[in-house]
């Protein structure tokens, strides 16, 4: 299994649709999980941290399933401005190359919201 694996997409959805992205990670000792958003030719920007209990921020809901080593991001009522690439990010725990603060990035899932 790759360290962090995401649905490759692309996802093309109409405005107002609900869309879900999935991500799996290989290291069961990972402790921190994030979703970043990256617009075309721009830097990634933090969208949400993912907590064990799941968390919600407006139209965005992130969930973590440690047993299955699975992270999800749900976007409700999609807007045109949600069009971007969504990156699943997982930390690398100690003993797997040094620092506790190395992050591993998935390749991203491209979302296009259409009018």
Total chain residues near another protein (CB under 8 A) = 24
| Least distance in angstroms from the C-beta of 16 to another protein | 29
For every residue of 60-97, DSSP letters joined together read: EEEEEETTTTEEEEEE-S--GGG-EEEEEEEEE-TTSS
| Least distance in angstroms from the C-beta of 28 to another protein | 17
If one asks whether residue 73 binds another protein (CB under 8 A), the answer comes out as no
Which residues have C-beta within 8 Å of that of residue 113, sequence separation ≥ 6?
A: 13, 14, 15, 17, 78, 79, 80, 81, 82, 83
**Residues 30-69 within binding reach of another protein (CB under 8 A):** 31-32, 34, 41-46, 49
Enumerate binding residues for another protein (CB under 8 A).
4, 31-32, 34, 41-46, 49, 87, 91, 98-108
């Amino acid at each position: 299994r790759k360290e962090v694996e995401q649905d490759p997409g692309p996802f093309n959805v109409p405005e107002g649709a609900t869309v879900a992205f999935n991500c799996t990670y290989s290291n069961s000792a990972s402790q921190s999980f994030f979703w970043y958003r990256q617009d075309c030719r721009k830097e990634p920007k933090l969208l949400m941290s993912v907590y064990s209990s799941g968390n919600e921020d407006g139209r965005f809901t992130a969930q973590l399933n440690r047993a299955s080593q699975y992270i999800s991001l749900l976007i409700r009522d999609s807007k045109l401005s949600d069009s971007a690439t969504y990156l699943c990010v997982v930390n690398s725990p100690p003993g797997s190359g040094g620092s506790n603060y190395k992050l591993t990035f998935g390749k991203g899932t491209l979302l296009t919201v259409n009018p």
